[in-house]
Amino acid sequence: MVDGMDRMIEMERLSLHIRDWQPAEIDPNKPVYVLLHGLSSNAHTWDLAAPKLVDAGFRAVAVDQRGHGLSDKPDSGYDFETVTDDLKSLLEVLELENVILAGQSWGGNVVLNFGARFPQAARALVFVDGGFLNLAGRGTWEEVSRELRPPDLLGIPRDHISARIAQMHPHWTPEGVEATLHNFETLPDGTIRPWLTLERHIAILRALFEQDASELFSQVRVPVLICAADDGSEWANQKRPLVEAAERGIPQAKVAWFEDTAHDIHVDRPGLLAEKMLGFVRELAVG
């Protein structure tokens, strides 16, 4: 498996950590996949899917968004405008023009916002169980923030968290569990601390709560692949109308449902996700 190269990218306002997978021979005519993680996640969660894109001859770049992983962690700037400005600056510094942006969960809604703000900056978009999220539809801010408040994991031994992840997802590979563990900083005593602080987590949740995704759908001018996970839960049933609304509202959209799949599709079904993303690119080439 091709491993990603870790790099810090210095930009005007902050530095972002990326993982960069490159094929042996780069075809300048092929788009580059730029991959975004979800809330309180990290770039390593793409470690299983990205090499499969590279095996097909594509370059893939995954980024730790501000506040996450090894990227800078300013106290402010967790709104969609600032985060999408970060992404635009990253593409400019890396001199990437022919890109397909893929984002998981909150990262999908970042990609949606980016596509609406910068309609010519990407060739296509991929929403990975995100991009259609509508937190305001789940209740008041007080209810949503209480429901989605992250658990306090500070001080828990790393091996305990590893065992908990493996228990929750028994068919995940050890590599998938390890990629998820990069959500946390490992302290000298062997315990963990989330890279994203609670205050910044809540700030992102608030921005997501206030975002009206449905208002942005019609502003997206490029093709969109919506990858939606169905894990058999009640939330999966509630998600279907949101996915259907996105499919109707986005001028060029297609939907792929992933049955018996967890929210982290890129960790749970990396091979199938990569296959769908590569097929999407082939369709773009034909079109």
Q: Per-domain residue ranges for the chain?
A: 5-137+198-286
If DSSP states are collapsed to H, E and C, what string results for 76-93? CCCCHHHHHHHHHHHHHH
In angstroms, rounded to a whole number, what is the distance separating the alpha carbons of residues 148 and 155? 21
> Measured in Å, how far apart are the chain's first and last C-alpha atoms?
31
In angstroms, rounded to a whole number, what is the distance separating the alpha carbons of residues 194 and 42? 11
Rg (CA), the chain: 18
- Structural class in CATH, domain 5-137+198-286: alpha beta
- 190 phi-psi bin (left φ>0, alpha ψ -120 to 50, beta other): left
Q: In a structure prediction context, what are the per-residue pLDDT tens digits for the chain, which is 287 residues long? A: 667 899 999 999 899 999 999 998 888 889 999 999 999 999 999 999 999 999 999 999 999 999 999 999 999 999 999 999 999 999 999 999 999 999 999 999 999 999 999 999 999 999 999 999 999 999 999 999 999 999 999 999 999 999 999 999 999 999 999 999 999 999 999 999 999 999 999 999 999 999 999 999 999 999 999 999 999 998 888 899 999 999 999 999 999 999 999 999 999 999 999 999 999 999 987 55
* Exposed/middle/buried for residue 181 (C-beta within 10 Å: 0-12, 13-18, 19+): middle
In angstroms, rounded to a whole number, what is the distance separating the alpha carbons of residues 131 and 281? 19
